[in-house]
Amino acid sequence: MVGTSDLQKLLTRLSGQIRASDIAQLSDLPRATARTLRQLWPTVPVANRRRIIREMVELSELNLSLNFRQVFLVALDDPDAEVRRSAVDGLWEEEDPAILRRLLARLAVETEIPVRAALAQVLGRFAELDVFGRLPRQESEELRSALIALLDPREPIDVRRRALESAAVYADATVIAAIEEAYWSGDPLLRTSALYAMGRSVDRRWLPLLLDELHSEDPERRYEAATACGELGAEEAVDDLIGLTSDPDRDVQGAAILALGRIGGTVATNVLRRLARSADPVVREAAEEALAEAVFAADPLRPTPW
């Protein structure tokens, strides 16, 4: 952790050569130092700011002990859209209502479509907290209103689809109507997002559509349908999902295997045991993970038998 007195020297170094060891020193900045960072941050060349924030996102994913929250919050107001978008990505695991307020404030003034789409997507994390009653009332109301506003057909498709995915957990009449509208819109991106939203809504009304989409010619739609069936715990999908475990698309294959683990039951578990002995390491690893989930769900105290 770097103090205020050393911050300028560190940023001077990062204005030239960018090294992970220097970036790591910006972890866990105290608020007083972060205020100084806000003043000094624009002195770093924009190309370097872009790379620093990107590498921070990567480093924090690889090392959970690193916390660049204060830097991401400063970068959230950067004049460069690419820096702002990366900063939003860096805040995707945050649960603090104060962070939510900052994200909503940024959304209110943001004009760049990629950044607005990223904001709509990261708000999905807070929507999940909201449905479990873990947000204060004011933040809850502001979040829901913001996401619903982003479902407006006048919004760019990239923004609308991310907002739909995030808002899906509310599963109220407005959201259900938006999912249905997106699915039948004819736009392939909106349709794919609608399938994802169907799973997040945990509403079985979508099951007939999802079962049909398991046979789609589009691998992205097969993938999302398989994932959604897992979210719904749809035993009706087990036979089709078993077929998808040998799908030519690796992502679809993995989604089907993980969905079987979420659904569980005798048939799915037996298939997963067989796949866990596969000579294919990708299939084997996915099946082991899915089997562990299925066995734990059936009996939390029982060890996983391979």
Which residue segments constitute the domains of the chain, with CATH numbers given?
205-306 (1.25.10.10)
Average pLDDT of the segment spanning 50-63:
96
Q: What is the pLDDT of residue 6?
A: 86
Average pLDDT of the segment spanning 51-66:
95
Q: What is the pLDDT of residue 296?
A: 84
Q: What is the pLDDT of residue 107?
A: 98
C-beta of residue 265 within 8 angstroms of C-beta of residue 291: no
Q: What is the pLDDT of residue 3?
A: 66
Whether the per-residue pLDDT at 306 is higher than 60: the answer is: no
Q: 220 phi and psi, to 5 degrees?
A: -65, -40
Q: What is the pLDDT of residue 121?
A: 98
- What's the predicted TM-score (pTM) here? 0.92
Per-residue model confidence as pLDDT tens digits over 99-120: 999 999 999 999 999 999 999 9
Which is higher by pLDDT, 2 or 214? 214
